[in-house]
A and B are shown apart, each in its own frame.
Chain A
Amino acid sequence: MSAPQKPFSRTVAAIPPSGIRKFFDLAQSMQGVISLGVGEPDFPTPWSAREAAIHALEHGATTYTSNSGLLELREAITDDLADRYGVRYRAADECLITSGVSEGLDLTLRALLNPGDEVIVPEPCYVAYQPCVAFAGGIPVPVALDPGDAYRLDPAIIGAAITENTKAILFGSPSNPTGSAQSAADLEALAALAREHDLWLISDEIYDRLTYHGTHTPAAVSAPERTVTLGGFSKSYAMTGWRVGYACAPEPLAQLMHRIHQYTMLCAPHMSQIAALEAMRTAQDDVDEMVADYDRRRRLFSKGLDELGLTCPVPGGAFYVFPSIASTGMTSEEFAEGLLTQEKVAVVPGNVFGPSGEGHVRCSYATALPQLETALERIARFIGS
Chain B
Amino acid sequence: MREILTVLESDAHASAERIATLTGIDEATVREHIAAWEASGVIRRYKTVVDWDRFGDQRVTAFVDVTVAPERGRGFDDVAERIARFREIRAVHLVSGAQDLRVEVEGDSMKEVADFVAQKLSGVDRVTATSTHFLLRRYKDDGQLLTDPEPDQRLSVTP
Contact = CB atoms under 8 A, between A and B. Distances in A.
A12 interface: no
B156 A38 contact: yes
B156 A292 contact: no
Interface in A344-370: 346, 348, 369
A126 B158 CA distance: 11
Contacts of B155: 24, 28, 38
B149 to A, nearest CB: 9
A33 B154 CA distance: 13
Given A296-B22, A299-B22, A300-B21, A40 B6 contact: no
- Of B152, B156, B157, B158, which is in contact with the most chain A CB atoms at under 10 Å from its CB? B157
Contacts of A300: 21-22
A4 B6 CA distance: 63
A42 B21 contact: no
Contacts of B123: none
A35 interface: yes
A253 interface: no
A128 B24 CA distance: 34
A246 interface: no
A30 B91 CA distance: 49
Q: Is the interface of A mostly helix, strand, loop or mixed?
A: mixed
Contact of A346 (B22, B24, B150, B156): B156
B159 A127 contact: yes
Given A128-B159, A299-B22, A38 B7 contact: no
Given A292-B6, A296-B23, A299-B22, A346 B159 contact: no
Contacts of A24: 155-158
Contacts of B24: 299
B112 interface: no
A20 B155 CA distance: 12
B157 A303 contact: no
Contact of A20 (B3, B6, B22, B157): B157
Nearest to B24: A299
A279 interface: no
A33 B155 CA distance: 11
A314 to B, nearest CB: 9
Contacts of B154: 35, 38, 40, 42
Contacts of B7: 296
Nearest to B158: A39
A171 to B, nearest CB: 16
Interface of A: 18, 20, 23-24, 27-28, 33, 35, 37-40, 42, 44, 126-128, 176, 292, 296, 299-300, 303, 346, 348, 369
8 contacts: A37-B158, A38-B158, A39-B158, A292-B3, A299-B23, A299-B24, A300-B22, A346-B157
Interface of B: 3, 6-7, 21-24, 150, 152, 154-159
Given A35-B156, A128-B159, 13 more contacts: A18-B159, A24-B155, A24-B156, A37-B158, A40-B154, A42-B152, A176-B159, A292-B6, A296-B7, A296-B23, A346-B157, A348-B157, A369-B22
